[in-house]
Structure 1
Amino acid sequence: MALALFALILAVDQLTKYAISTVFLPGESLPVVPHIFHITYVLNPGAAFGMLPQARWFFILAAAALILAFLAYHRRLKKEPAAFYYGCVAMLAGAVGNLVDRIRQGLVIDFFDFRIWPVFNVADIAIVLGVAGMIFAILFRMNERE
């Protein structure tokens, strides 16, 4: 099940990025709901919010470390609550999705544009939901122990 989740997230991320990059030019935007939600093709050299645009190798090494840590602790992670384990899987899939972009072209393709938030992609959603699942599992387990 975890492998299927990982593969699904990675496939959707890469397919959507491919579709955006073949249909749009960088900077081009299509209003889906005017002034609220647009599809905007952005090439992001950094992390969230475009931070650290010159740190490509740092992000590549960080993603590689995350992959190695996941593989090293996989047996232990499987014994954790499902929200924590699958949160780790989702976070890893998102990190790998953005890693593929960084290795292939040095930039991450972003395209969901809500106009009040920086533009993001499917991998970013997976990372955020994965971390949220992990936090939920930690907080739930903390309440369970009290």
Structure 2
Amino acid sequence: MKILIYSLFIVLSDQVSKYLVLSTLGFERTKNIIPNLLNFTLVQNKGAAFSLFSNSTNFLTITSVVASLLLITIILRSPPKSYWNFIGLAYLLGGTVGNGIDRLFKGYVLDFLELVPINFPIFNLADVSINIAVICFIIDIIKHKSKIYY
């Protein structure tokens, strides 16, 4: 159950951050947050990561719902056996549900974090969470392999 509570916290953080940026900034405006590093620029992303599958809202919505339900099933049936796997699953579920809520209720994902010095797609906290999950899974694999060989 702890993992679902952590995931819920991630979902709430993602949704509240999107709401706050939307209500204070609105679309098509940019607010510099950290000079030469970070802007808030709210955009509607109708695709997936790096705008893949643009304008495939129905497909991406169904994929988000199915992935979220699959993750919940995995978590409940086979609880994580390591700290890094636990954290990774919590962040992955939180990020997947966060963006899934946008797709389900808005038809697009709200992205707002813009890294100024590089030409990188605008993203949100759910995207950050999914990337943290990948890092956690990699750490878990490395730690698990090191136990096998030593």
Partner of 1:3: 4
The count of residues paired between Structure 1 and Structure 2 equals: 146
Query: Pick from 107, 120, 123: which aligns with 1:120?
Result: 123
Distance 1:111 1:143 in 2: 39
Q: Which moved more, 1:87-96 or 1:19-28?
A: 19-28
Deviation digits for residues 36-65 of structure 1 (CA, Å, limit 9, x no counterpart): 211111111111122211221222222222
Partner of 1:34: 35
Partner of 1:140: 143
What's the TM-score, normalizing by structure 1? 0.91
CA RMSD of aligned residues (A): 1.5
What's the TM-score, normalizing by structure 2? 0.89
Unaligned runs of 5+ in 1: none
Q: What is the letter of the counterpart of residue 148 of structure 2?
A: R
Partner of 2:81: 80
**What is the identity percentage for the equivalent residue pairs of Structure 1 and Structure 2?**
27
SS at match of 1:112: strand
1:91 aligned onto 2:80: no
Distance 2:34 2:91 in 1: 28
Q: Which moved more, 1:51-60 or 1:12-21?
A: 51-60
SS at match of 2:14: helix
Q: Which moved more, 1:131-140 or 1:72-81?
A: 72-81
Distance 1:109 1:123 in 2: 10
**Which aligned runs of 4 or more in structure 1 are off by greater than 6 angstroms?**
none
Answer yes or no: is the 8 Å Cα contact 1:42–1:109 preserved in 2.
yes
Partner of 2:110: 109
**Relative to 1, partners in 2 of residues 1:34 and 1:71: Cα closer, same or farther, differing over 3 Å?**
closer
The CA deviation at 1:31 is 1.2
